Amino acid sequence: MKKKILIALLVVACAVGIGLAGFFGYRALAPQQAEETTESETAETAETAATSEEADFSSISDVASLTTIEACYHHVAKFTYEADEGLTGVWKHGYKKAWREYDAKAYFGIDASKVTTSREEATVTVKMPHATLVGEPKITGMGNLIVETGFWTDFTDEDEQRMNRIAQEGIANKASNDTSMINRATENAQKILKQWVQSVGKAYGEDLTVEFEFVD
């Protein structure tokens, strides 16, 4: 009888020990589980906050500076000196005529410092100037100089320098009044800026409409 009682006590003691071990084991794991849950929730909150931010267009002026396009020209420079008056003019003394073809390049773009954006809901308005000639055109190649002179008349180094000035002034005037290239450069800038704004919007999960306003 005593032997059965002793065995029963041992069984109870074992059961109690197992229960206590399980209890304290749970208590030890509970803080770790709570910590893991907190970190997960924090990550999800940060991700939600990031996706809720609006697209940033503060670097649009940097993009605008990259929209410049190049134009190539083939032009002619020429000038004429009339013959002297009087007896020497009979033989066209002093008469000079010069002609030279040449190639040049010019660049057209917008003033990037004037490009800004404003936003109303999903519509972004880009304010920008029309394109203009950027800097001075550059002569890239000169053709053969064709010269015609009168009796006892030379074509001098000063005459050739004048031809170069005429060529530079001529291409600058032609490029600055080239409305076709000005319009093309304006449209090119609009196209690139629109694509950039929309691509930035997509990076933030936004589908944006882009409008333009000129600020000349």
71 and 2 housed in the same domain:
no
| Res. 147: pLDDT tops 70 | yes
Alpha carbon distances (Å) from 141 to 137, 146, 159 = 12, 15, 18
Instruction: Report the pLDDT value the prediction gives residue 81, as an integer from 0 to 100.
Output: 86
Of the ranges 8-12, 85-89, 147-151, 170-174, the best mean pLDDT one:
170-174
Q: Which residue has the tokens 């670097």?
A: 59
- What pLDDT, in 10s, does the model give residues 91-134? 788 899 999 999 999 999 999 999 999 999 999 999 999 999 99
Which pTM value belongs to this model? 0.70
The band of 193, judged by pLDDT with boundaries at 50, 70 and 90, is: very high
Instruction: Report the pLDDT value the prediction gives residue 89, as an integer from 0 to 100.
Output: 63
- Domain with 127 in it: 60-214
Instruction: Report the pLDDT value the prediction gives residue 84, as an integer from 0 to 100.
Output: 79
94 and 42 housed in the same domain:
no
Mean pLDDT of 14-34: 36
For the chain, the farthest-separated pair of C-alpha atoms sits apart, in whole angstroms, at 162
The residue among 10, 36, 52 that closes a domain is: 52
Number of domains in the chain: 2
22 and 80 housed in the same domain:
no
Q: Which residue has the tokens 């882009």?
A: 210
